[in-house]
Structure formats: structure tokens, C-alpha cells
Structure 1
Amino acid sequence: MPRRAWPRSRGSSASTAAPCTCRRRSSDPRPPAERAAARAGLDGRGRGHAQSPSHPAAGRSSARGRPAFPTVGGHHSGDLAVPEDTGPVWRRDVLYRRTDLEVRRLVGKTPLSIAADKIAYPAIRWAAIAARLREQGAPTPLDGTGVACEVYPGAALAAWGFGAVRYKKAKGSQERGELVEALDARWPWLDWAGHQGLCATSDDALDAVIAAVVAREVLHGRAVSPPTELTAAAADEGWIWLPAQD
């Protein structure tokens, strides 16, 4: 699952901490489902309405490349062309960004689609966090060249040679413990602060450590940046940063 990691801003000596997002009781009288739909850019009948250009699922268009999720934008504007078919190729172009397809090409893992999977929820939350950071003067461009970058722990593991390890959930507890040991040997410089046990118990905790290490690789220029032909798409759609393969 892609996550947001927090490297230092290039040229800065201070690190940026992730802001805390606390759940609080809403004063909105609408039912929870209706509030969620409104946050996602839908009206009560499931139809899209105009959204901020920074919204992760908006049908943004840009002179830099194709619109992000053009089917969403075309459906909203009413000028979506009738597709010749709705087979796998069409669905791939509808659901996945160029960075998702590039991750699949490089390491053989396909990220969850932020347009049509559960990962859309953290993507929407990230839009709110990014807005807060921008308000505080911290740049958050979608291509990850600001104070935060998008990472995918599973794909990072694949780049490091651990792509076959099934470490998720309770059934992956043994493999997760072995993975923590392998990563500890790989990263002799990393101070786990006594949290190896937690990472062996929780795949979420381990993913957080992996995300932080990838952010460090991005900061030090040891990660896969967008190729020239995808720089415009990365600026418009986002970019999943992978560690450089050994």
C-alpha cells in the first residue's frame, strides 16, 4: 500500500515531522455516509462535483500531460467518449496512474488504485494534510520533490530482493520476524530504538520503518526518479519513489 514518507526538504538542515491527524466528533448533522460522499466529491446520488485541483481523484487536466483519471473528469463534464470496449487495457488506463504502471514494470508489483480501491481513503486524507502543510509554507508537489514523497513498502522490498516475502497480517508473522532480522542485517546503521519486536508483531509498524528508510534514500539521491518522458505525468498525477536497486 502506498504511503507518504517525510524526508527533509532538499537544502534544509531540519527534518519535517508528519502532522498529527486526530479524529474528532463532527458537528455536521448529515449522516456519516453523506459526509463521506461530500468529502470524496460526490453528491447524494453518487455523482461527482467540481473539486480542488489538488484532490487526488479529480479529473485534473494539464498542458504537461494527459489528465489524471480522465474518465472521471469526462464523466463529470459530460463529454466522455464512448470506449471501444471496457476490457483490461481500458480498465488499466482508467484506474492506474503512470507511476503505478512504472512500479509494475520495474519490480512486478501493482499498487492499489487510488481511484478505485481502499487506498483512496488515505489518498483523500493526504490531500487534507498536504493542504495544511502548504498553508504552513511547506511545499508538497505531487511528484515528491518537496517535503514529502509517496512510497510503497511492498515495492521497496521487491527492489531490495524481498518481493516474495509474505509478511502481512497474522499469517505472515513468522516471515515478518525473519524479514525484520534480514533488514536489520542490511541496515547496520539503522537504530530501531528497541522497536524490532513491535515491527515483528505489526506489519503497519514495519511498513512505517520501510517508508522512512525509502524517504532517506530519496533525500540522498538513491531512489528512482521519474524518467524524462514521465516527468510531466509525475507532476500531474504523483510519483511512487522506489529505492535504487543494488
Structure 2
Amino acid sequence: MSDLPMRTAGVDLAAENKGTALALIAWTPERARLEQLTLNVDDAEITDAAAGVAKIGIDCAFGWPDEFVAFIADHANLAQPQVPDGRMAWRRTLAFRETDRHVREKIGRWPLSVSTDRIGLTAMRCAGLLGRLAASGLVVNRSGRDGVVVEVYPGATLRLWQWEIRGYRTDPQVRRSLVRRMQRDAPWFDLGEHAELMVESTDAFDAVVAALAARAAAVGRYEPPPSKHQERAEREGWIVLPSCALGALLSPPHASERPLSYTVT
């Protein structure tokens, strides 16, 4: 058996290299250490990192809703869509993926829509990145069931952990309090020289949370897509939501462990 530590990576992806951050965490049975935290990362750096980890969590939608893809194809072919009664409900099938509906059930909030919000620009980059990862020889399964790549959502992860995150993306002092919370909840997690960068940069902070969510996927502490949604998840993507608190990520799951639940207030 190898004595090498497990490694997970996290990427806070932006439409350009600027705003993209990469985190790398090494895990042993006793400790975890933040080995690398880098800003302004390009696709080649992400591909290199993915080759050396058990899981890499990317904060970006991996695909578009099936209904949206069909709608755009029909529109391009000059077909007239049949809009059912309840037009807003129908439009939401175009705007949100099955995994987005799952996240809303868990945390009481809709993720941003890959079809209608500006994150679509980042998703275009992500589609190319996933192709590059596959071309490098890595297994890419958008549902996260197989392969090295998983879709993550740091904001939802933090809400499932019941952390107070209001304003964390814009206020460094909120991020400072969250870094302190991270150190309290996971005293085994050594942030090394990178703690201050997590305070200074939202992108860096989210990349670390993405790498922690990737660890949840690597050790099976998350809810995979239900079998009835598996094929859809392989096209649309599936967001990994950790099923345990941060402090439990170091140890293997127990059969009696109950998944996290989020109280909507």
C-alpha cells in the first residue's frame, strides 16, 4: 500500500485566468495541509494539478439544462416552441438543471442559472476545460460518479455546514472570521502561509472550500445523483454537497452517520 497522502484540488473558475484560483490539499490519516493556493490560474495549470489528485472540485456548472439545450436547438432550426400553461414554471425548466433543483431543496436557495446568468461565460470555459482534461487521459464524468472531476458549489457547502456567510464574498473581515472558524472546526487542517490570502481573496477562499468538497467526494461523504437522474446528471452535471461537517472530513464515514440537513430561515 502506498504511503503517499491523498490529494484533492479545488478550482474557483472564472471566465478568464484572472479571478481563477487553485487550491491543493494533502491528506493523511492524522492531518491535512494546504500545500498550494494560487491565483490567476490557466487551464494548463489546472490540467497538471488534476493529474496528481484523487478528486478535483471545480466551482462551475458542468452543463446546461436538457430542456434549454433542446429549446435552443429547436430555435436554431426555426421550430416554434410550444409554451405550456404556467409560462414561468416552463421557463424555469430552461433556466435550472436537475442538480440546481436538488440544491434548492437542500439549502432553500436557487443557484445561479447557467442559462440566464453571466456564469454562462464561465461555463463555456469550463466545457473547454473538461474537454482538455479528457484529452489528457483523465476520466471525466459530469455526474461525479466516476473519474477525477466533480462539480462543487462553495456557497452551498458553507450553508450546509451552518456557517454565517452573509457578505463573505465582498467583506475580507467576514472571510477572516470564516478562516478562524475553519481552524476551530478542523484543528487538524494546516493552512500554512496561505491563511492571509484566503482573507484577501474571495477566489482563493472559495478554491479551498472547493478542495474540501472534493475530499467529501473522494471519501464518499456526499449524495450522488439518484439513479433516475443519473443519465441527466452525466449531461447537465451534478453538484457535490458534503454530507458531513468540516470536522469529520478527515476520518472515514461510519455506517450510522446521518447526512447534514440545512434549516431554512
Where does structure 2 lack aligned partners over 5 or more consecutive residues?
Answer: 1-10, 14-21, 26-35, 45-61, 245-259, 261-265
Identify the residue that residue 105 of structure 1 maps to in structure 2: 105
Shift in Å, 1:128: 1.2
User: Matches of 1:163 and 1:100 in 2, distance apart?
Assistant: 22
Residue 148 of structure 2 is aligned to residue 161 of structure 1: no
Provide Cα deviations, 1:144-203, integer angstroms capped at 9, x if missing partner.
23111100000000111125532011xx22221111111121222222122111111211
Determine the C-alpha separation between the residues in 2 that align with 1:106 and 1:137.
34
Contact 2:142/2:235, CA 8 A, preserved across alignment: yes
1:233 — aligned with what?
232
Query: In terms of mean alpha carbon deviation, does 232-241 or 78-87 score higher?
Result: 78-87
Matched residues in 2 for 1:188 and 1:128: separation? 37
TM, length-normalised to structure 1: 0.70
Change in 2 beyond 3 A, CA 1:80/1:239: farther
User: Shift of the alpha carbon at 1:6?
Assistant: 9.1
Q: Secondary structure at the match of 2:192?
A: coil
Cα separation, 2, equivalents of 1:229 and 1:221: 19
Quick one: percent identity of the two aligned structures? 33
Instruction: Return closer, same or farther for 1:96/1:225 CA change in 2, 3 Å cut-off.
Output: same
The letter for the 2-side match of 1:221 is G
2:150 is matched by which residue type in structure 1? C
Other structure's SS at 1:117 match:
coil
- Deviation of 1:108 (Å): 1.6
CA distances 1:191-243 after superposition (whole Å, capped 9, x unpaired):
21221111112111100000000001100001121122222221121101111
Letter in 1 for 2:156: A
CA RMSD across the alignment? 2.9
Aligned to 1:190: 189
Moved more, 84-93 or 215-224: 84-93
Using the size of structure 2 for normalisation, the TM-score is: 0.66
Amino acid aligned to 1:98: E
Please name the residue that 1:147 is paired with.
Answer: 148
The amino acid across from 1:96 in the alignment is F
Runs of 4+ in structure 1 off by over 4 angstroms are 2-8
Matched, 1:84 2:110: no
Moved more, 235-244 or 72-81: 72-81
1:135 matched residue in structure 2: 135
User: What's 2:42 paired with?
Assistant: 20
The structure with the greater share of residues assigned to strand is 2
CA distance in 2, matches of 1:117, 1:219: 30
Q: Provide structure 1 residue ranges, at least 5 long, that are not aligned to the other structure.
A: 9-16, 23-54, 60-65
Aligned-partner Cα distance in 2 for 1:70–1:106: 27
Name the structure 1 match of 2:200. 201
Range that drifts further, 84-93 or 117-126: 84-93
Stretch deviating more after TM superposition (184-193 or 131-140): 184-193
Q: What is the number of residues matched between the two proteins?
A: 196
Shift of 1:109: 2.5
- The structural deviation recorded for 1:118 is 1.5
